[in-house]
Structure 1
Amino acid sequence: MAVDPQGTDIQRFIEEDTGGPMVMMNLVRFKEGGRASFSEYVNAVLPFIVKAGAQPLYAGDCSTPLVAEPGQTWDAVMLVRYPDRATFMKMVTDPEYQRFNHLRTAALSEAVMQATTPWANSP
């Protein structure tokens, strides 16, 4: 199962950049005992998110899905608004940020990181 972005995913993410703001949606499924490691990761990278000019919008535990196929349930969701994709890439490639990525990888059995772009006239 996917946890970390691969080279082709990153390349496509960069190529599809519209230059405007984006919200990164993170859906995560924890390994047994992984919640503590993920919490440590989030606490460690939050200063990098703020320093990048990004804005955490929401983080919370997932509950009972109303519509989902088997295997489509998640443990937690996070939404972070970034000024643009370049800002996100600069943040995640920072060597200081990279020092903490192992905590995320160790915590998760599966993840979805999906960039979203706002619709016209959306809040």
Structure 2
Amino acid sequence: MAIDPRGADLKRYLQEDPGGPVVMLNLLRFAEGGRELYAQYADALSTTFLPRYGGEVLYAGSGSTPLVAESGQDWDAVLLVRYPSREAFSHMVADPEYQQVTGLRTRALTEAVLQATTAW
């Protein structure tokens, strides 16, 4: 299952940039013990990297009973994170200091969706 964006994914993400801010939808499924690892990652993200790159968490919450979903489409957590641009997000994930903590996220998850969204 996909967890982390790959180089080709990031290249396409930047090529399709319509300009302006981007809100990243994060759908997360935790491994056993993953919530604690993800909490460590989220702490580093919110105290260091989001301020550094102009990002902000708009919403973070636990998943609940899905009302409309196919089997297996329920998620443990949902996050919405706003970045001033796709480029800002790309610079963050390329930051060597960020790369030292992103392993926490990788180990915390068994599956994830990371989708860029733009306002209507």
Fold match, TM over 0.5?
Answer: yes
- The aligned amino acid for 2:14 is I
Task: Report the counterpart of residue 102 of structure 1 in structure 2.
Answer: 103
Task: Report the counterpart of residue 13 of structure 1 in structure 2.
Answer: 13
Deviations 1:32-88 (A, max 9, x none): 111100111100121211221112100010100110000101000110111110011
Task: Report the counterpart of residue 44 of structure 1 in structure 2.
Answer: 44
TM-score by length of 1: 0.93
The answer on 1:34 being equivalent to 2:24 is no
> Following TM superposition, by how much is the alpha carbon of 1:30 offset from its aligned partner in structure 2, in angstroms?
0.3
| Larger helix fraction of residues | 2
Q: Secondary structure, in 3 states, of the residue corresponding to 1:26?
A: strand
> Following TM superposition, by how much is the alpha carbon of 1:8 offset from its aligned partner in structure 2, in angstroms?
2.1
Task: Report the counterpart of residue 23 of structure 2 in structure 1.
Answer: 23
Q: Give distance in 1, aligned partners of 2:117 and 2:9.
A: 15
> Following TM superposition, by how much is the alpha carbon of 1:28 offset from its aligned partner in structure 2, in angstroms?
0.4
- Sequence identity percentage: 59
Q: Secondary structure, in 3 states, of the residue corresponding to 1:99?
A: helix
- Across the aligned residues of Structure 1 and Structure 2, the Cα RMSD in angstroms comes to 0.8
The unaligned stretches of length 5 or more in structure 2 are none
Q: How many equivalent residue pairs?
A: 119
Q: Which range moved further: 7-16 or 74-83? A: 7-16
